[in-house]
Structure 1
Amino acid sequence: MNRKARLRKKRLRASLLGLLVIVAVTAVSFAAKGIGKDSEDIKNEQPAVEEPQDVSQNEPQEPEPEVIPDTIINIKATGDIMFHPSQIDGGYNASTKSYDFHNSFKAVKGIFQEADLAIANFEGTTAGDEVYSYQGYPLFNAPDEVLDAIRDAGFDILSTANNHSLDTRKAGLIRTVEQIQSRGMYNVGTYTEKPETRVLIKDVKGIRIAFLSYTEMLNGLDSVLTADDLDTLINITDETKMKEDIAYAKENDADVIIAYLHWGIEYKREQTPSQEALADMLFKEGVDIILGSHPHVIQPAKTLDYDGKTKFVAYSMGNFISNQRVETLVPYGMSAEVSKYTEDGVIIDIDIEKKGETGEVSIKSIEYTPLWVYKGTTSEGRTEHIVYPIMEFLENNDLSEDSISRMSRSYSDTMAQMNAE
């Protein structure tokens, strides 16, 4: 290697050494100042300190207790449904050769459709017209179409144990039950065959209602049945059977027991001592509500206290619909003073309450809707019978002064008998 080459090599090493020194000094300077941060940021930077945590937030929370709401159901009950010849004829349309009875219930339809359960006494039979003609007293047999109108009016249950249950004998009783049930309604008190129980239990919004139905009399027609058939087909007032049925209702968790009784004396506006005695026995056994039919006039309704529990009895709810009135009964020897009360009816409106927290069930309230049966003539010349809720029609300009006067009298006399609070 010549002298010039060695000199260039020495100069290259010196230049590399100087460059390394400059890089080192620069790195130290940058590190001292802090790359990417202001010196003020470095001065103020503090080590992170964890916030204290609320330990209670991590503890399991007690669930809010569930509030079970109270339940209230409404039951509407009324008296005797009877179809006499003038009613049957008035429902017949000769041009169509068919029957239609919906008009009779048009003014009360909305009332019954509001109820959770609506019940009445169907007094008579629907045996068809092959053996018996359509007829009224003393052997009632109405067209099937009356049941269509009753169902459409809002009724759910018909009590069928009464003194006219056997008017068309065993076959008529059975067919009546079949026709009621085929329309989606229930009946209690008569049966097509030996029932597993004589008690009808309906669960309404979690409240179990047991219905019982009995009649004191059968107009002597019990003689047309054998003892076995009589025991099978119809409930006769019998203390032993009644106690058995009440016990069955209790065993099957009935919250309320309602007995529909066909009893008392016709056209008598006061209950008899025997009615009071039977009611007392039933209340002591566990019945809560007694609904009476048969007298065809309004008898007193009362609330009673049994060991701190409210019970209710309506000894007779009168006629819901019929052709009984002053004009039809006076010619047969009944006085106008007595016969006028057969035009009166009432809807017993009962609210039953079940407490959500305790399960206690009681009668919450009782109200009354007095009814009056109008009889008139249609524009086609047919007779019509219409059940009117009195207070809604007292100022109806379509009704005559006589009708308004009779409705006003009916309202006062009915409410005088309704003293339950």
Structure 2
Amino acid sequence: MKEVKKLLVVLVAAVFFIGLFVLCDKYSENVKADYASQINPSIVNQGSSGTGSKGQTVDAGQLSVEKMVQNMVTKDYSASVTLAAAGDILCQQSVLEKAYNSDSEKFDFSDDFQYVKDLFLTSDYAVATLKTTLAGKYNGSSDEYYGYTTEDSNYNSPEVLADNLKSAGISLVNIATNHALDSDAAGLVSTIGYLDQAGLVHVGAAATADGSTDYTQNIGGVNIGFIGYTNSSNGYSLDSDAECVLNTLNDYDAQSIETLCNRVSAMKDETDLVVVMLNFGSVESDSIETDQQALAQKLCDAGADLILGTGSRVMKPVEKLSSEDETGQSTRSCLVLYGMGALLSGETYASSEKDTDISAVFDFNIARNDFGETAIQSFTVTPVYLNWYNDAIQPIPVCEAKDTDKYTEMLDDNAMDRINSAYEGTITHLLDGSGLTSTYENYAYHVSLQ
């Protein structure tokens, strides 16, 4: 009889625990469904650091409630990083000539960046756009300048430029530009090879068909994805049997735009923040174009957080776009720089009577809270002026040049006129129509997005 009672007790206990398990499992699924939207994929995939965009993420539904609670209790997901960005690096004839040393018969562009490199080196990460090929000596469309060329706007620059950019604090460059195929497919492959040798990360193109043209970098605990694209390649195109790849929109082609938007959405699922580096817009325009704005809105809707636009020789206004749901409520935002100008080029104001000698270095403050929500909180604008002095063409911080005597010996009357014009004119032009305002501090303009 005792044995029968013990058996009944065991059976009752078994039924109780089985029922409890079923109820807990059901409750667990409900909790996971309720809180899945708050779980950022980057929180559960923190191992991605310096990889292509093909990294895998962990689905929120795979997390147990116990594990999720443990992560929230034991880990701090807040982070704050800075991302510096500059416009085009363009080696025109005058830039090549001034970088050449006839005694050593070598090029060196390091002096060109000596007055702005601290803006890159003090940031957590820095990016720019390389608007030339590095095809190698005598491998461009001509060899008119010591084995390199700027003939007919087909650029092939000395490969040491990659090392100089790296030393100046630039970590990543977009090579998807209208000049990407100036030295044909072989020149594009060579460009990638020299960038790899210099340790300079690149987006927008790949040397092989299966190579990644995007890049994801964990910067201070924030996973940031970079995508590079160009709207055109100056009429050049890759042959159908070419092994290399160039990301191009083919002049706002609808299918190409859809492909880019799909890539943005996929990267947004894998990262905290998506940056699209986009070479687009008319060369001479200093205003936002209809096609640019329409494309930017589509990218915002797809998940882009920051669009770094290049292509125009002059700067264009910035804009903060919003993506809305069916009820008209804003669901997310995207900061768009439609044109950043050229950090380095041979352009002068006198040659065009346009502000082709003025650009800026931007520094974005990116923050992530404890719930994995990441956003650009603010950005800093440091206007720069392309100063010609002796044997160098050097971007110089405008506000520091006006407010101090650091550069007095280097600046003639014409240069000071340009600096005075850019001192407040640059930020006024950039924020025109955006509804954003700035404050001035430490030789730069600070813009809050909150």
User: Which range, TM-score by smaller chain?
Assistant: 0.7 to 0.9
Q: What is the TM-score when the length of structure 1 is the normalising length?
A: 0.77
Letter in 1 for 2:248: I
1:368 aligned to 2:381?
A: yes
Whole-Å Cα distance in 1 between the matches of residues 313 and 321 of structure 2? 24
Q: How does 1:90-129 map to 2 (within 5 A)?
A: 90-129=98-137
Match of 2:58 in 1: none
Kindly indicate whether the alpha-carbon contact (under 8 Å) linking 1:120 and 1:159 is maintained by their aligned counterparts in 2: yes
- What displacement does 1:308 show? 4.5
Whole-Å Cα distance in 1 between the matches of residues 293 and 164 of structure 2? 34
Change (3 A) 1:344 1:139: same
Match of 1:266 in 2: 283
Match of 1:85 in 2: 93
Matched positions, count: 339
Letter in 1 for 2:192: V
2:195 aligned counterpart, secondary structure: helix
Whole-Å Cα distance in 2 between the matches of residues 217 and 281 of structure 1? 18
Q: How does 1:282-361 map to 2 (within 5 A)?
A: 282-306=299-323, 307-327=330-350, 329=351, 334=352, 336=353, 339=354, 341-355=355-369, 357-361=370-374
1:414 aligned to 2:426?
A: yes
Q: What is the TM-score when the length of structure 2 is the normalising length?
A: 0.72
- What displacement does 1:362 show? 1.1
1:229 aligned counterpart, secondary structure: coil
Deviations 1:182-225 (A, max 9, x none): 11110000111113543211111221111111111111111xx2
Q: How does 1:6-405 map to 2 (within 5 A)?
A: 66=74, 68=76, 70-132=78-140, 133=143, 134-136=148-150, 137-222=152-237, 225-229=238-242, 232-237=244-249, 238-251=256-269, 253-306=270-323, 307-327=330-350, 329=351, 334=352, 336=353, 339=354, 341-355=355-369, 357-377=370-390, 383-394=391-402, 395-396=404-405, 397-398=408-409, 399-405=411-417
Kindly indicate whether the alpha-carbon contact (under 8 Å) linking 1:343 and 1:410 is maintained by their aligned counterparts in 2: no
Whole-Å Cα distance in 2 between the matches of residues 69 and 277 of structure 1? 34
Kindly indicate whether the alpha-carbon contact (under 8 Å) linking 2:262 and 2:302 is maintained by their aligned counterparts in 1: no
Change (3 A) 1:188 1:304: same
- What displacement does 1:69 show? 6.2
Letter in 2 for 1:260: M
Deviations 1:104-130 (A, max 9, x none): 100011110011111111001111113
1:111 aligned counterpart, secondary structure: helix
Kindly indicate whether the alpha-carbon contact (under 8 Å) linking 1:81 and 1:122 is maintained by their aligned counterparts in 2: yes
Whole-Å Cα distance in 2 between the matches of residues 248 and 202 of structure 1? 15
Return 5+ residue gaps in structure 2 as ranges. Answer: 1-72, 250-255, 324-329, 437-447
Change (3 A) 1:366 1:308: farther
Letter in 1 for 2:112: S
- What displacement does 1:310 show? 3.3
Kindly indicate whether the alpha-carbon contact (under 8 Å) linking 1:214 and 1:236 is maintained by their aligned counterparts in 2: yes
Return 5+ residue gaps in structure 1 as ranges. Answer: 1-64, 378-382
Kindly indicate whether the alpha-carbon contact (under 8 Å) linking 1:198 and 1:245 is maintained by their aligned counterparts in 2: no
Deviations 1:45-82 (A, max 9, x none): xxxxxxxxxxxxxxxxxxxx657262101001111100
- What displacement does 1:85 show? 1.4
Kindly indicate whether the alpha-carbon contact (under 8 Å) linking 1:199 and 1:249 is maintained by their aligned counterparts in 2: no
Identity of aligned residues (%): 25
Whole-Å Cα distance in 2 between the matches of residues 98 and 211 of structure 1? 33
1:363 aligned counterpart, secondary structure: strand
Whole-Å Cα distance in 1 between the matches of residues 174 and 211 of structure 2? 18
Deviations 1:83-110 (A, max 9, x none): 1111111111111221111111000111
Letter in 1 for 2:368: K
Match of 2:37 in 1: none
